[in-house]
Amino acid sequence: MRPFLLDYVASQGHVVFENGLYNLNIIGIRTPDDSANKFNDRMCVVYKDEQGWVTRTWPCTTDPGTYWREHPMKVTGTAIMAPGQYRGSHKLGRHRGQYAALVQSGGRVSYYRDANKDDILDMDPETEQSGYIGLNIHKSSSRESGSENVDRWSAGCQVFAKPGSDGFEAFMALCDKSAETYGPKFTYTLVVAPGV
């Protein structure tokens, strides 16, 4: 039976990948907890392996840390990725040229600009834009324990709290395995948790 999360993604009008082994559905879930500077969202990968459906999930952030909310890189404000499905938007690459990650591949993503420099997320539809601005999927600290606070780790990227085998490293291993069959590009879907 297909996992509920894929039913929910499909109910939002998005495509789900059900054919073949390790054909990854990469899904970010923005939770109702909007506490600033915390890894209070979830990164999920849903796929089939030789035994059937598998769902893996890890703590992450889908919005920028307090530092970048208060010190935006652009005068128009800090980027906050908008919920949606972005087909082929990310590929295997190197985050800032430093380590393996999923990097925005040139596929357009939608995002809001929050310009009032406080710790509250402002997702005003009037500020929504789309384009290529380097919203990658990467890790926080390289320390094994990861990071408790988002701080400067995200200026709009989707960022894993933990770097190791219980977080980002496990995610990238799945991406590498999937790429052997389906190639280096991936679709990323960001949804808001049901009931929010």
Residues 59-117 have pLDDT tens digits of 999 999 888 888 888 888 899 999 999 999 999 999 888 899 999 997 789 999 998 88
Q: How far apart are CA 124 and CA 108, in angstroms?
A: 19
Q: Is the pLDDT at 196 greater than 60, yes or no?
A: no
The pair of structure tokens assigned to 77 is 């404000």
Q: How far apart are CA 49 and CA 93, in angstroms?
A: 24
- What pLDDT does 70 receive? 84
Q: Is the pLDDT at 34 greater than 80, yes or no?
A: no
pTM: 0.94
